[in-house]
Amino acid sequence: MKALRQTLAATFVLALSLVAARAQAPTGGTQQFAQLGQCRLASGEAITDCRLGYRTWGKLNADNSNAILFPTWFTGNSGELAESFSPNGLADPARYFIIAVDALADGVSSSPSNSKSRPRMTFPAVTVQDMVSAEYRLATETLHLKHLHAVMGISMGGMQTFEWLADYPSFFDVAIPIVGSTRLTAYDLTLWHAEEDAIRATPAWQQGSYAKSPAVPLTAILHDINLTSPSRYNQLVPRDKFAAQYASYGTEGATDFDANDRIYQLQAMIHHDIAHGGSLEDLAQHLVKIPHPRVLIVVSRQDHMVNPTPALDFAPLIGAKTLVLDTPCGHLGPGCEAATVNPAVRAFLDEK
C-alpha cells in the first residue's frame, strides 16, 4: 500500500491548481541555479559556494512590475509548485513573472545533503531569515530586479513570506502568507521538536552519517496525523486499511526527503520569529509607519500543523485582510478549498 503521505502530498500540490478541472501546467519552469558565493547567516557563520535553486514561469512586463516570488514549503522543491501556476491556480503566468525558489536545505539549494565543504551535520544552521536573505539576493543580484509585485508562499513558504514582510517591506507590493505563522505556538514547537527527535532516535540515522537516507517511521506518522484533522485522516484511511497503512511507515516513512535536510528545515521553523526576539506589536507599529505591502493572510481554522492564532493576531496590527478556512482538511485546507482560495488570491494580486 502506498504511504498515506503520497496521497496527502497529491491533495496539497494538485488541488491548488484545480477549480473544476485540472489545468495544463504552464510552459517554462526549467531548474536554474543562482551562484551567490558566500551566504552570511544570522548565526555569524556562512555557507561557502552558496547556491539557490529556482524556476520561472511567464515573462517580465515592460516596466518589470509583475514579478512574484514564491518560496517552497517544508520539504518541498520548486518543481512541485508548477501546478499552482495557471489561469485557475494561485497565480497566472500569462499575467505575472513567477519565481519559485528552493529554500535553503531543501536538497536542491545549498543543503547538508549536497554540500561538499561542510556536508551532513557539519553544515551551518540556517534560519527562515537566512532563507529570505538568500532569496532577496537572488531577486536583486541574479535577476536584477529592483522591486517585486508580490511574495507569497504556503506553510514554511508562508513563514518566509512573513519574514519578507519584516525584513524587506518596501521591496514588494503584496504579501500573501498561506497557512504560515509569524512565530510558532507551543503546540507547533512540540510537533516539530518531536519530528526532529524521532529522526535522531532512529538507529539507521547514525548521527547523520548514513550512506542512504533512512526511513524514519515515527517522523512520518507524526507528520501525517497532523497534516489533517482526525476526521479527515479517518476518511483517507478506513479502519480496514489501517494495518497496511501503518506497516508502510516502516519502509516508506519520510524517505523521499533527506533526513539531515529535514532536521535543518525543522530547526529553521523552530527558531522562526519575524520579530527576532522582540515584540510583534513593536514590529507592527514600525510597519504601519512606513510604506509596506498590502497583506492577505490565509489560515485554516482546523490546522493542527501550523496554528493559525499568531497570524490572525498579527493581521489587525498591520491592517491585513484575512481569509479563514474551516475545513477538516486542516493544514491542507488551501488545496481542499482551492475553489475559494485560488480566486481570492488572484483577485488580491490584481488589485490596484
Residue 24 has pLDDT above 80, yes or no: no
Annotate 243-260 with DSSP letters as a single string: HHHHHHHHHHTTTTS-HH
Query: What cell was used for 280?
Result: 510583534
Maximal C-alpha separation, the chain: 58
Tell me the pLDDT band of 21, cut-offs 50, 70 and 90.
Answer: very low
Q: Count CB-CB contacts under 10 A for residue 28.
A: 15
- Average of per-residue pLDDT across 42-71: 97
pLDDT in tens, 256-285: 899 999 999 999 999 999 999 999 999 999
By the 10 Å C-beta count (0-12 exposed, 13-18 middle, 19+ buried), 14 is classed as middle
Region of 278 please: left (phi>0), alpha (psi -120 to 50) or beta.
beta
Helix (H) or strand (E) holding 321: strand 321-325
Residue 5 has pLDDT above 70, yes or no: no
Q: What is the pLDDT of residue 253?
A: 75
**Length reported for the chain:** 352
pTM of the full predicted structure?
A: 0.93
> 100 phi and psi, to 5 degrees?
-90, 125
CB of 113 closer than 8 Å to CB of 258? yes
Euclidean distance between CA atoms 234 and 217, whole angstroms: 19
Sheet with 67-71, side-by-side order of all strands? 32-40, 46-57, 97-101, 67-71, 148-154, 172-178, 294-300, 321-325
Q: Is 70 helix (H, G, I), strand (E, B) or coil?
A: strand
CB of 143 closer than 8 Å to CB of 171? no
Mean pLDDT of the chain: 92
The domains found in the chain, sorted by start residue, are 4-187+263-350 (3.40.50.1820)
Residue with cell 497496511: 244
Q: Tell me how far CA of residue 112 lies from CA of 76, 256, 261, in angstroms.
A: 15, 15, 6
> 257 phi and psi, to 5 degrees?
-140, 130
Q: What is the pLDDT of residue 293?
A: 97
CB of 296 closer than 8 Å to CB of 320? yes
pLDDT in tens, 204-229: 999 999 999 999 999 999 999 999 99
